[in-house]
Amino acid sequence: MQETKPGPVILRFGLTGGLLSALIFLIFTVTGLSSPDKPTSGYVSGFLTFAILVTLVVLAIRRQRDEVQGGYINLGQCILVGLGVVLLSTLISSLVSLVYTQFIDPGFTERMMAQIEDAWEAQGMSEEQIEAARSWTSFMKSPILTIAYNLVCFGIGGLILALITGLIMKRERPEIS
């Protein structure tokens, strides 16, 4: 069977991942579960998002291998599919987050930064340390830098995830002699 392009599989699973990740963000944000004073909620939210991405990468690679390419896929194709799913998911959820923080709740970022700074003070950080940390986290105020940061971080994680998944799921086409 002839190999086909992974675009439709990446699109389907990437859109699903992006929408589910955005839904998790919105649920945790609107309900107030997502805040610096509730770190356990952040762990739960992160774990759910990670579990969704792992599941979708596995399902996407399996779909590409078994249904699109007739049961065979090489490591490079696995990485392409997995990384594509993660990056598209990240882009969609980042855009939803951007719309929420810029238009629906424009004071969200400032409130979060104030809570983070309160937590730093409670941990006993000096004013100099807080100022250094504040300058380091100032990129959060720029929506474009936040999206770029998310894409880089999730891209690296997605590459590792796709590589591990690909090493497990690859199935090379036998050479005919």
d(CA 131, CA 127): 6
Q: Specify the amino acid at residue 44.
A: V
d(CA 139, CA 145): 6
d(CA 39, CA 65): 39
Burial of 74: CB neighbours in 10 Å, binned 0-12, 13-18, 19+: middle
Alpha carbon separation from 62 to 6, 31, 145 (Å, rounded): 12, 35, 33
57 neighbors 86 (Cβ within 8 angstroms): yes
- pLDDT tens digits in sequence order for the chain, 177 residues long: 455 899 999 999 999 999 999 999 999 999 988 777 777 888 999 999 999 999 999 999 999 999 999 999 999 999 999 999 999 999 999 999 999 999 999 988 888 888 888 888 888 999 999 888 888 887 667 888 889 999 999 999 999 999 999 999 999 988 886
d(CA 119, CA 123): 6
pTM for this entry: 0.90
Q: What pLDDT, on a 0 to 100 scale, did the predictor assign at position 2?
A: 53
Q: What pLDDT, on a 0 to 100 scale, did the predictor assign at position 1?
A: 46
Alpha carbon separation from 57 to 13, 17, 94, 177 (Å, rounded): 8, 9, 18, 33
Alpha carbon separation from 5 to 11, 92, 125 (Å, rounded): 11, 22, 52
Partner residues linked to 171 by β-bridges: 73
d(CA 75, CA 79): 6
Partner residues linked to 152 by β-bridges: none
**Chain centroid to CA 66: how far?**
25
Q: What pLDDT, on a 0 to 100 scale, did the predictor assign at position 88?
A: 98
Domain ranges of the chain: 7-169
